[in-house]
Structure 1
Amino acid sequence: MPRTASVWMHEMSWNEVDEHLRRDDVALVPIGATEQHGHFAPMLLDTGWAIVVAEETARRSGCLVTPPLHFGWSSGHMAYPGAIGLRAETLTAVATDIAHSLLHSGFKRVVFVNGNRVANLPPLEIAAVKLRVATGAAVAVADCGLLAREAVAALCEGAPGTIGHAGETEISMVMAYWPQFTDLAKAPGGFVPAPVPDLASPPRRGHGSLDRRLDGDSVFLPHTPEEFRARTEARQGVDGDDSLASAEKGRAMVAAIAGRLAGFVEELRGMPVTVRGTGPVA
């Protein structure tokens, strides 16, 4: 029986990877998390973002995708059962080792596709900087929540502040790609969005905003797991509005994000890259 062509590296034989490297040297590394998204959505959601965006990007651009990493920097959700997190320095080390292995194989351009939107950024950005400086390889981080903010916001019908955790965007994505694990009958409802900031408002407590309509001055003050649970427990740990989510929106959002990432892959291919010092990970 003939083998089915795949963009996933772990579904290929080693010689098929070798043949691919003669044509292209870009690898996408999907990295997500295992953490709660209410009573009605699966804990795979963050990794799900990275999986579907990386796969669609690879189909558009002709690159390969590594097996996904289902663990991220999830300290804020550890008060909820089932969360599995890595320390920030561990995530940096794991991402660095994955990329270093790819560079040793012959890849020269590696993109960490972050599905644990914004939360994984500090450890992954540190890994990318370390790899760029140490090896000269083109190593980048693409965040599924930040890559196509204008296009995603245009697809949302909820008021500003409704995009958050297990909100309109995330639930649209799992409705499109993992409906068998999603039960909107269990959704909490009754979400009240954060007010839109004005110039006189105090700084928002977080550097990264998924919702472009909430951009403004900011500072960073992390919450403890207990604080997050106390703030969100009445709504199952949800910090967003799922009520306007749909599978159609989910597919359109993934297409918009993957389209932007495919364009960035083409930009990476145009960069002159000389890789050095990439012995095997030991």
Structure 2
Amino acid sequence: MTDWLDARSATMEEVRDFAARRPFAILPVGSFEQHGPHLPLDTDNLIAGAMAIETAKRSTGLVLPVLNMGYAWVWQGKPGTLTFRFDTYMAMIRDMAESLDSWGIKAVFVLSGHGSNPQPIKHAIRELIHGKFGIKVLNSVYLGVKEMQAEADSPAWADDLHAEEIETSLMLAIEPSLVRMERAAPDYPLVPADYGRSELSMGHIMRSGVFGDPTRATADKGRRWLDLGAARSAELWLSYLKRQDLWDGPE
């Protein structure tokens, strides 16, 4: 008997039985947004979904469908990008928590493939969920990014990642048919002094939509980093469940 289940292919009875034994869920959240000339708009969703499955295999949980539009204010106005408002996204996370709580899930890991999502999620947990529902909520972008950056063959842009070596490598491992490597090119926009301290965002200073060097990406790196991100995320998840007195298995 496995400790994880993919909800997308499960029946109501299968979900019921799994939740009775392991009342835990992993909710992957992504974004539908620009990723330069070589990666699809669905990049963050595909990474979040794959990372959630691999995290569950190393820990436990009912893996839910990807919440495939996020808080992508930084890219608004860029063709193809869709975004919810901050308050709208908070309300959606609150509704997901209420739905899960209503049929017995005791803890959910909201695992993000998009760096801006944890901000409204954090406020939703504090303002809309805590003290109102019994469910516990863990919120994080997939872990291991610092280790990935240390292993990468190209420098990070402003200690961030977007359509560069890491995301491109992950996509080459997850959905290689969607990666247009012949269009990949490095791009390191200048970082103004007030970046991150004013309204200035990546969307304001982007040129190609790439922030780093995707040409150094490989599928081998992507597979290694998918394993790394899932392993680190699983460690956090099991540690959280144990701290909440919900997990009695090995970490």
TM bucket (normalised to shorter chain) is 0.7 to 0.9
Q: Residue 96 in 1 paired to residue 94 in 2?
A: yes
For residues 238 and 272 of structure 1, the distance between their equivalents in structure 2, rounded to whole angstroms, comes to 40
Q: Is the 8 A contact 1:29 1:66 kept in 2?
A: yes
Deviations along 1:213-262, whole A, 9 cap, x unmatched? xxxxxxx32336xx835x323xx222221121111111111111111111
| Counterpart residue type for residue 95 of structure 1 | I
Change (3 A) 1:151 1:15: same
Count of aligned residue pairs for this structure pair: 242
Match of 2:206 among 232, 239, 259: 232
Q: How far did 1:20 drift? A: 0.5
Alignment pair present for 1:266 and 2:238: yes
Give 1:222's match in structure 2, choosing from 183, 188, 199. Answer: 199
- Partner residue, 2:38: 40
Residue pairs, 1:42-81, within 5 angstroms: 42-81=40-79
Q: Distance in 1 between matches of 2:16 and 2:195?
A: 47
Counterpart of 2:166 in structure 1 is: 169
Matches of 2:190 and 2:76, distance apart in 1: 24
**Distance of 2:183 and 2:31 partners within structure 1:** 22
Secondary structure at the aligned position of 1:133 is classed as coil
Mapped contact 2:29–2:66 kept (Cα < 8 A)? yes
Cα 1:28–1:204 change in 2 (3 A) is: farther
Q: Which moved more, 1:85-94 or 1:75-84?
A: 75-84
Instruction: Output the CA distance in 1 between the equivalents of 2:145 and 2:81.
Output: 27
Counterpart residue identity of residue 116, structure 1: H
Quick check: 1:161–1:194 contact (8 Å CA) kept in 2? no
| 8 Å Cα contact 2:118/2:140 also seen in 1 | no
Task: List alignment gaps of at least 5 residues for structure 1.
Answer: 196-201, 207-219, 275-282
User: Does structure 2 conserve the Cα–Cα contact (< 8 Å) formed by 1:160 and 1:194?
Assistant: no
Unaligned runs of at least 5 residues, structure 2: 247-251
Asked which structure has the greater CA Rg, the reply is: 1
Letter in 2 for 1:176: A
How has the CA–CA distance of structure 1 residues 83 and 150 changed in structure 2, closer, same or farther, with 3 Å as cutoff? closer
Q: Using the TM superposition, give the Cα deviation of residue 160 of structure 1 relative to its aligned residue in structure 2, in angstroms.
A: 4.1
2:195 pairs with 1:205: yes
Aligned residue for 1:140, secondary structure, equals strand
Q: Aligned equivalents of 2:62 and 2:92: distance in 1?
A: 19
* Secondary structure in structure 1 of the residue aligned to 2:137: strand
- Structure 1 runs of 4+ with >6 Å offset: none
Show the counterpart of 1:241: 213
Aligned to 2:14: 16
In structure 2, what is the equivalent of residue 132 of structure 1? 130
The alpha-carbon deviation at position 51 of structure 1 amounts to: 0.5
Check the 8 A contact 1:25/1:107 in 2, yes or no. Answer: yes
Counterpart Cα distance in 1 of 2:130 and 2:224: 33
RMSD: 2.4
Counterpart among 153, 159, 173 of residue 155 in structure 2: 159
Q: Which secondary structure does the structure 2 equivalent of 1:135 belong to?
A: coil
CA distance in 1, matches of 2:67, 2:245: 26
